[in-house]
């Protein structure tokens, strides 16, 4: 509640600032001065007697002075508006020292830099990425390993004229994973440039580049159990089926229902083994073409989100073939960290005031509530033993539906029977089932 109020008052301040004068007024006035001066120059340059020239100059004096004063006033007003916003920010977000002792960015700088560079590349910010990599490398040159086989000069030569792009070195040295030069940034940039080119086409409702890509990578995609190539081809069929009135493609034999049929004949045979039923549905829809909306096929042909859906799965598959997750890990880590921060701060302050310390390394003593999309590894903590289940001590579900760790269940067992610690029902050990998370 308090945070909401803070945010509201801050938005209030921001709307006030939006109304305040800004530098555009000053820029306009400077333009006016330039105009005055240019006019005067043209007059003097033209054929006229010296007397008129000096008169023109004299006439300039006052307007120019007033204009300069106005520019100064504009600048003052804009800078005071900035100061007001700064004060509002300071008031609402007072500087708080984070109660952490380990400065992760110092001890793992190369890794942090690598994560940032990777994030920029995968977000398509290629210019920013290459500047970042170049600057990170000049500020923190990777330490030369003592057992380097070749002399340094030779290595430097190789790097500088590799492809003429400063800062984007493709190094074949994979020894140090945290090193920026092992990022293969040029290769990654090329890959992501391709991804963004295809995504842009998808946004413009052109499926063909994405279909080409999926076809080129069909073996890998199929090995992953991906239906991307078929989903794209299916959408292409539906898209053509809708005809020029919807898809705005040329009204010829390659468009409309005839075009869709021709497309299906040319391309669908390769999907028959896996998607026969779906292909049959698509073909049967032809019969209902005059009134698709009332047909059993209207679902397949409603394409409100179809293009953004295939764009999402295309991004996911493209990244996974590169061995990357669909979401930027840096984005996930920072977002999850920001969500966890309030609890972490509370905990740190509490332990500091009590002088106690949590000793288990690499683990926090409290749970961080994260949205489902950020949960990757399900864990189960036995409610009786309070231990996290493992492969050796897996979670078990008992007939009443409660879950316990395997070891806990064994301890509860008397003979072959046990009594659930949460409800009075009894069960047999053989009825307990292992839960796979
Ligand atoms: Zn129970």
**Mean pLDDT, rounded, for 125-150:** 70
Domain range spanning residue 22? 2-92
Are 106 and 49 contacting, i.e. CB atoms less than 8 angstroms apart? Answer: no
**Mean pLDDT, rounded, for 19-48:** 83
CA 427 to ligand 1 center in whole angstroms? 9
Q: Is 168 a member of any domain?
A: no
Look up residue 145 and give its two tokens.
Answer: 């390993």
Work out the pLDDT band at 395, boundaries 50, 70, 90: very high
Residues 245 and 316 placed together within one structural domain of the fold: yes
DSSP string, 272-294: HHHHHHHHHHHHHGGGGGGGGGG
Residues 315 and 196 placed together within one structural domain of the fold: yes
Residues 195 and 301 placed together within one structural domain of the fold: yes
Q: Is 137 a member of any domain?
A: no
Q: Is 172 a member of any domain?
A: no
- Categorise residue 248: left if φ over 0, alpha if ψ from -120 to 50, beta otherwise: left
Residue 267 to residue 236: CA distance in whole angstroms = 11
CA 400 to ligand 1 center in whole angstroms? 5
- What is residue 19's predicted lDDT score, i.e. its pLDDT? 73
CA 365 to ligand 1 center in whole angstroms? 27
- What is residue 363's predicted lDDT score, i.e. its pLDDT? 64
Residues 340 and 391 placed together within one structural domain of the fold: no
CA 369 to ligand 1 center in whole angstroms? 26
Q: Is 195 a member of any domain?
A: yes
For ligand 1, a single-atom ion, which residues have Cβ within 5 Å?
400, 402, 420, 422-423
Q: Is 295 a member of any domain?
A: yes
User: 38, 67, 92: which is the final residue of a domain?
Assistant: 92
Residues 206 and 260 placed together within one structural domain of the fold: yes
CA 402 to ligand 1 center in whole angstroms? 5
Specify the higher pLDDT residue, 23 or 245: 245
CA 421 to ligand 1 center in whole angstroms? 7
Share of the chain above pLDDT 90, in %: 23
Residues 352 and 406 placed together within one structural domain of the fold: no
Residues 339 and 300 placed together within one structural domain of the fold: no
CA 381 to ligand 1 center in whole angstroms? 16
Most confident of 67-81, 228-242, 349-363: 228-242
Residues 229 and 262 placed together within one structural domain of the fold: yes
Work out the pLDDT band at 140, boundaries 50, 70, 90: low
Q: Is 15 a member of any domain?
A: yes
Does the structure show a pLDDT above 50 at 174?
A: no
CA 424 to ligand 1 center in whole angstroms? 7
CA 50 to ligand 1 center in whole angstroms? 107
Q: How confident is the model over 175-216, as pLDDT tens digits? A: 344 567 777 778 888 999 999 999 999 999 999 999 999 999
CA 379 to ligand 1 center in whole angstroms? 20
User: 61, 76, 92: which is the final residue of a domain?
Assistant: 92
User: 92, 125, 156: which is the final residue of a domain?
Assistant: 92
Work out the pLDDT band at 403, boundaries 50, 70, 90: very high
Residues 310 and 337 placed together within one structural domain of the fold: no
**Mean pLDDT, rounded, for 392-421:** 90
Q: Report the domain count for the chain.
A: 4
Most confident of 43-47, 155-159, 330-334: 330-334
Q: Is 420 a member of any domain?
A: yes
Q: Is 125 a member of any domain?
A: no
CA 407 to ligand 1 center in whole angstroms? 16
Most confident of 38-42, 215-219, 224-228: 215-219
Does the structure show a pLDDT above 50 at 161?
A: no
Share of the chain above pLDDT 70, in %: 84
Residues 313 and 337 placed together within one structural domain of the fold: no
CA 433 to ligand 1 center in whole angstroms? 14
- What is residue 325's predicted lDDT score, i.e. its pLDDT? 83
Q: Which of 9-18, 79-88, 107-116, 378-387 has the lowest mean pLDDT?
A: 9-18
Q: Give me the CATH number covering residue 428.
A: 3.30.40.10
Give the bridge partners for 334, in sequence order: none
CA 366 to ligand 1 center in whole angstroms? 26
**Neighbouring residues of 112: CB distance < 8 A, sequence distance ≥ 6:** 104, 105
Residues 272 and 394 placed together within one structural domain of the fold: no
CA 36 to ligand 1 center in whole angstroms? 88
Residues 195 and 317 placed together within one structural domain of the fold: yes
Residue 236 to residue 282: CA distance in whole angstroms = 11
**Mean pLDDT, rounded, for 386-415:** 90
Q: How confident is the model over 371-387, as pLDDT tens digits? A: 877 777 777 889 898 88
On the 0-12 / 13-18 / 19+ scale of CB atoms within 10 A, 120 is: buried
CA 363 to ligand 1 center in whole angstroms? 30
């Amino acid at each position: 509640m308090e945070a909401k109020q803070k945010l509201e008052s801050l938005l209030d301040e921001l709307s006030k600032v939006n109304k305040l004068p800004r530098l555009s007024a000053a820029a306009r006035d400077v333009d006016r001065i330039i105009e005055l001066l240019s006019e005067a120059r043209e007059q003097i340059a033209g054929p006229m007697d010296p007397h008129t020239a000096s008169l023109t100059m004299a006439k300039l004096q006052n307007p120019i002075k007033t204009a300069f004063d106005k520019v100064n006033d504009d600048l003052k007003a804009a800078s005071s508006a900035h100061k007001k916003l700064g004060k509002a920010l300071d008031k609402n977000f007072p500087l708080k020292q984070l109660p952490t002792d380990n400065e992760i960015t110092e001890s793992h700088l190369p890794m942090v830099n690598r994560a940032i560079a990777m994030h920029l590349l995968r977000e398509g910010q290629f210019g920013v990425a290459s500047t970042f990599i170049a600057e990170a490398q000049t500020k923190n040159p990777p330490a030369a390993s003592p057992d380097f086989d070749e002399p340094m000069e030779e290595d430097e030569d190789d790097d500088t004229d590799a492809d003429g792009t400063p800062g984007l070195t493709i190094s074949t040295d994979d020894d140090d994973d945290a090193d920026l030069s092992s990022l293969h940034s040029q290769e990654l940039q090329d890959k992501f440039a391709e991804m963004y080119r295809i995504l842009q086409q998808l946004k413009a409702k052109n499926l063909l580049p994405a279909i080409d890509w999926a076809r080129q990578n069909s073996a890998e995609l199929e090995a992953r159990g991906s239906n991307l190539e078929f989903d794209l081809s299916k959408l292409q069929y539906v898209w053509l089926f809708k005809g020029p009135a919807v898809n705005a493609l040329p009204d010829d034999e390659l468009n409309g229902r005839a075009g869709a049929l021709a497309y299906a004949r040319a391309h669908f045979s390769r999907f028959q083994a896996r998607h026969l039923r779906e292909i049959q549905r698509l073909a049967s829809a032809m019969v209902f073409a005059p009134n698709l909306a009332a047909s059993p096929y209207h679902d397949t042909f409603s394409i409100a989100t179809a293009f953004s859906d295939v764009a999402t799965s295309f991004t996911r598959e493209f990244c996974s073939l590169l061995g990357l997750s669909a979401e930027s890990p840096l984005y996930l880590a920072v977002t999850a960290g920001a969500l966890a921060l309030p609890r972490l701060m509370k905990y740190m302050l509490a332990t500091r005031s009590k002088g106690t310390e949590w000793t288990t390394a690499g683990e926090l003593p409290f749970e961080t509530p994260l949205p489902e999309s950020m949960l990757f590894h399900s864990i189960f903590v036995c409610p009786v033993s309070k231990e996290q289940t493992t492969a050796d001590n897996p979670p078990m579900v008992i007939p009443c539906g409660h879950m316990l760790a395997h070891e806990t269940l064994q301890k509860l067992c008397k003979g072959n029977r046990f009594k659930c610690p949460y409800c009075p029902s009894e069960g047999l050990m053989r009825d307990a089932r292992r839960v796979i998370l």
